[in-house]
Amino acid sequence: MKTTDFLLAAVLVAALGTAQAGPGAHGPNGEHLDAPSGASGGGLARLPDGSVNIPKLAQRRMAIRTVLASPSEAAATLQLPARVVMDPNSSGRVQAAYGGRIEPGPRGLPVAGQAVKRGEVLAYVRYQAEPYAVANQQSQLSELRTQRQIAEQRVQRLESLEGTVPRKEIDAARAELAGLREREAGVGASLGQREALTAPVSGVIASVALVTGQVVQARDVLFEVVDPARMLVEASTPDATLGTRITGAQLAEVPGTRLKLQGAARALRDGLLPLTFTVQAGKPGAALPLAIGQPVRVIVQLKERVQGIVLPAQAVVRNPANEPIVWIKTSAERYLPQPVQYQALDALTVVVTQGLGADNRVVVQGAPLIAQIR
């Protein structure tokens, strides 16, 4: 009986020594035995080889979906930096022809985002002349007023002598009087003249650069009016032949919008060639979710074709080294990260050109959640 008790105690000591190794102890494969144990094999855990273990219940909570990779052919694409610009046929700028002081229009000064109609008065610019010029105008006005009064008296005198005075003298006096009246009215109006600033097109106010009482100079841009349903996107490329190889284009930031190439410039600007696209909303006539000057990315489809696996854009995520990866399901509860090379087809899909095989089951929904498991 004592021998049995001794053997049992020895087994327990050996088991405790294995479970509670001393500091710095290593196992047969070099692992640290004193390190804190991770999650159990049936829980959420990132394994030493970089793969992730996700139980079935957790997969349902995370709404993870996978598809079997299927090679296909797609159009080659390029991403070009671009920005939103005004359409010259549906937008316009309001500038002052002469310098002066700003006065509000019939509805007050418009604000950014306010809808306006073509020809609507937005504001007035009251001309502010120099004191010396004002004095000269007033002097000229007084002189014209005196000449007009003399001409009126002469016409009255000649008309009273009608029949004894030649008709041509009366007509000449009347013509002279009419000319003096017009000159007097013109000079008088110039003293308090103001310029009406009207909307060049129907649309919304994109920008406002004035307040009541502000003094502006000639040719200052005071308003910008745009049609929110008609805008242009201007991309740039160093390739002079790219314009002839484009079959379609889309905005990476705005799914659902379509771009139509209007033309490629033949003159370099800052070392690049501009490409102009018109933007078409998903619904005809709908306002575009874009702003003038907004930087965007244009994905252009080319005539060339590439072989690869088409996946949703959300299937591609980044690993800690900032490399693009997809998650492959290797077993019922295990997912392995796989580095890939890909091209964007549009705002919602990509084509993986390297890194995947036809027998891989790829995560197409929930990949960002898997990447966060530590």
pTM above 0.85, yes or no: no
Instruction: Tell me what pLDDT residue 70 has.
Output: 87
**Got the DSSP string for 165-230?**
B-HHHHHHHHHHHHHHHHHHHHHHHHHT-EEEEE-SSSEEEEEE---TT-EE-TT-EEEEEE-TT-
Phi, psi of 84 (to 5 degrees): -85, 135
Helix (H, G, I), strand (E, B) or coil at 8: helix
Q: What integer is the mean pLDDT of 260-266?
A: 90
Instruction: Tell me what pLDDT residue 38 has.
Output: 42
| Beta bridge partner(s), residue 277 | 233, 261
- Token duo for residue 208: 């406002």
pLDDT tens digits for 113-139? 999 999 999 999 988 766 656 667 677
Residue 8 pLDDT exceeds 80: no
In CATH, what is the architecture of 92-226? Answer: Beta Barrel (2.40)
Q: What CATH number does the domain located at 65-85+229-371 have?
A: 2.40.420.20
Domain ranges of the chain: 65-85+229-371, 92-226
CA distance 325 to 51: 12
pLDDT tens digits for 9-64? 443 333 334 334 444 334 444 443 444 444 444 578 889 888 999 999 999 999 99
Q: What integer is the mean pLDDT of 85-105?
A: 90
Residue 92 pLDDT exceeds 50: yes
CA distance 173 to 156: 9
Residue 289 pLDDT exceeds 90: no
The mean of the pLDDT values for the chain is: 83
pLDDT tens digits for 192-229? 678 899 999 999 999 998 899 899 988 899 999 999 88
231 burial class (0-12, 13-18, 19+ CB within 10 angstroms)?
buried
User: Which alpha helices (H) appear in 45-98, and where do they start and end?
Assistant: 56-61
Q: Name every residue whose Cβ is closer than 8 Å to that of residue 227 and which is 6 or more positions away in sequence.
A: 87, 90, 91, 201, 202, 203, 204
